[in-house]
Amino acid sequence: MSVSRTSKTSAGQESPFRHELYPYRGDTQFLTGTLGFIREALDAGEAIIIAVPSDKASLLRGELTDEPAVTFVEASTAGPNPGRHIAAWTAWMSEQGEGGRPVRGIGETAWRLARNASHLSELRYNEWLLNRAFARSQAWSMLCPYDAADEDRSALRSVSRCHPLIHQDGQSVRNEDYLSADDYVFDALPDPCDPLQELAYTHGDLSAVRSKVAQCASDAGVPEDRLPKLAVAVTEIATNSIRHGGGRGTLRTWTRDATFLCELRDAGYISDQLAGRTRPTAEQMGGRGLWLAHQLCDLVEIRSTRDQGTTVRLHMDIPQ
């Protein structure tokens, strides 16, 4: 992890949004870094939103009695899908920043609770997307504590590449390893595994797509009360294929470990990296399909390029 010194005001970023990773080891270091960030905000008359695991929240609550500018939120209310997190932070920021009041956030992701490699990959991508989502926000900054006690340098570097700044010795330090390019470098999607079901679809085939998914999901053990949610998500993505992806697509389903997966592929291209991650407005025409998929599924993976088209994978957890 390569860093270089910069001032606390300029922070070496083109964007006014400050997004800092704070690697710490132990509760004392956690409190030192986060409390310094909080006190700086309080001195500046800023609001603070804190979304951290419950044990870390207890530590901070013990130090922050009667601070009306500090709001604790339960990060788990956004659900297990990282694709919902940007919308959650947007809502929290809007509520606490009413009237243009500057807001700071402290958000610690429970990295070690990631359910599988795909979930971990999407958690990292979400961290990187925060820089795009709030690039124009001059009243918003975020500190992301990261428990580095296990000395896993590879994991730390993977997370650090999603943050333009490192919080170090009470200062913002430019992160030379940050992925600053316009396009994110994704982890490769794992190959499907047998038994694999496949169905080509086009105009008039949505009923067949829903029936295929419902049967395969039921056979895999997806709870009956979740089948309608999956049906809505699949219908939305298949409809996008027909309308925007060349009029046709391919559905594939399979089960890996304790997850049922639906993959929908077409020849279309999604240019908006934030598609499906921000709440559609009442006046907005279209753009709700990916949003619904994120709200209804446990994980959504999207890979889209001009030359290879679009692949969307919908994950539904299977109770064990």
Q: Work out the average pLDDT over 271-286.
A: 87
Higher pLDDT, 13 or 196: 196
Q: How many Å apart are CA 185 and CA 201, to the nearest integer?
A: 30
Q: How many Å apart are CA 125 and CA 143, to the nearest integer?
A: 17
Confidence of residue 16 (pLDDT cuts 50, 70, 90): confident
User: For tokens 């009360």, what's the residue?
Assistant: 225
Residue type, 174: R
Confidence of residue 287 (pLDDT cuts 50, 70, 90): confident
Q: Work out the average pLDDT over 296-314.
A: 97
Torsion angle of the four alpha carbons 278, 282, 285, 291, in this order, in degrees rounded to the nearest 10: 30
Give residue 12's pLDDT. Answer: 41
Q: Work out the average pLDDT over 291-315.
A: 97
Token pair in block for residue 39: 């006190």
What confidence tens digit (pLDDT) does each residue in 104-148 have? Answer: 999 999 898 899 999 999 999 999 999 999 987 767 899 999 999
Confidence of residue 98 (pLDDT cuts 50, 70, 90): confident
Q: Work out the average pLDDT over 246-272.
A: 96
pLDDT above 90: residue 26: yes
Confirm if 133 and 277 have CB atoms less than 8 A apart: yes
- What would the 3-class secondary structure string for 192-220 be? CCCCCEEEEEECCCHHHHHHHHHHHHHHH
Q: Which of 181-185, 202-206, 219-223, 226-230 has the lowest mean pLDDT?
A: 181-185
Higher pLDDT, 320 or 34: 34
Q: Which of 84, 87, 106 is nearest to 95 (CA)?
A: 87
Token pair in block for residue 230: 């999956």
Token pair in block for residue 251: 């559905």
Q: How many Å apart are CA 36 and CA 46, to the nearest integer?
A: 14
Neighbours of 280 (CB within 10 A): 16
What confidence tens digit (pLDDT) does each residue in 260-270 have? Answer: 999 999 999 99
Higher pLDDT, 309 or 320: 309
What confidence tens digit (pLDDT) does each residue in 147-168 have? Answer: 999 888 999 999 999 999 999 9
Domains of the chain plus CATH, in order, are 3-175 (3.40.50.300), 197-317 (3.30.565.10)
User: From the centroid of its chain, how far is CA 216?
Assistant: 28
Residue 141, SS3? strand
Residues in Cβ contact with 212 at an 8 Å cutoff, skipping those fewer than 6 apart: 197, 199, 251, 253
Q: Work out the average pLDDT over 40-47.
A: 94
pLDDT above 60: residue 10: no
Token pair in block for residue 15: 């964007």
What confidence tens digit (pLDDT) does each residue in 47-96 have? Answer: 999 999 999 999 999 999 889 999 999 877 777 899 999 999 999 998 99
When computed from its CA atoms, the radius of gyration of the chain, rounded to whole angstroms, is 21
pTM of the model: 0.91
Give residue 15's pLDDT. Answer: 66
Q: How many Å apart are CA 91 and CA 71, to the nearest integer?
A: 13
Q: Across all residues in the chain, what is the average pLDDT?
A: 91
Confirm if 274 and 132 have CB atoms less than 8 A apart: yes
